[in-house]
Amino acid sequence: EVQLVQSGAEVKKPGESLKISCKGSGYTFNKYWIGWVRQVPGKGLEWMGTIYPGDSDTRYSPSFQGHVTFSVDKSISTAYLQWSSLKASDTAVYYCARSAILGTISQLDYWGQGALVTVSS
């Protein structure tokens, strides 16, 4: 069974750093792109970008480029989303999701449960 399990909720202060995780199982993790999606409370879905675990090829949305970093650790089938300096406007639920087609950026067929990040002084 394909699963993506994300790390838990976080509460941080503005300016702090953070790294959240997304662990894949039940499939060949290295061969499917992993996307990241933001959802501000009460708002819609925003595509942040995607990473290919096989070679760490990464595509960022211009809206998030330079503010977040994607990475992977293939040895433990885990993708990461990190910030070096959080802002209050980063408060949101962050989802990871798998692209459905092997080796190709495509529709997102399996989703993590989401991780709520709250940034408040």
Partner 1 sequence: EIVLTQTPGTLSLSPGERATLFCRARQSVSSSYLAWYQQKPGQAPRLLIYGASNRATGIPDRFSGSGSGTDFTLTISTLEPEDFAVYYCQQYGSTPPWTFGQGTTVEVK
Tokens of 36: 């990241």
50 lines the binding site for partner 1 (CB under 8 A): yes
Question: Burial letters for 28-56: b for 16+ Cβ neighbours within 10 Å, e otherwise?
Answer: ebeebbbbbbbeeeeeeeebbbbbbbeee
The residue from 30, 67, 114, 118 that contacts partner 1 (CB under 8 A) is 114
- The distance of closest approach from Cβ of residue 15 to partner 1 in the complex, given in angstroms and rounded to an integer, is 27
DSSP-derived 3-state class of residue 43:
coil
57 lines the binding site for partner 1 (CB under 8 A): no
The CA angle 100-68-55, to the nearest 5 degrees, is 50
61 lines the binding site for partner 1 (CB under 8 A): yes
109 lines the binding site for partner 1 (CB under 8 A): yes
Interface with partner 1 by CB under 8 A: which residues?
Answer: 35, 37, 44-47, 49-50, 59-63, 95, 97, 100, 105-109, 111-114
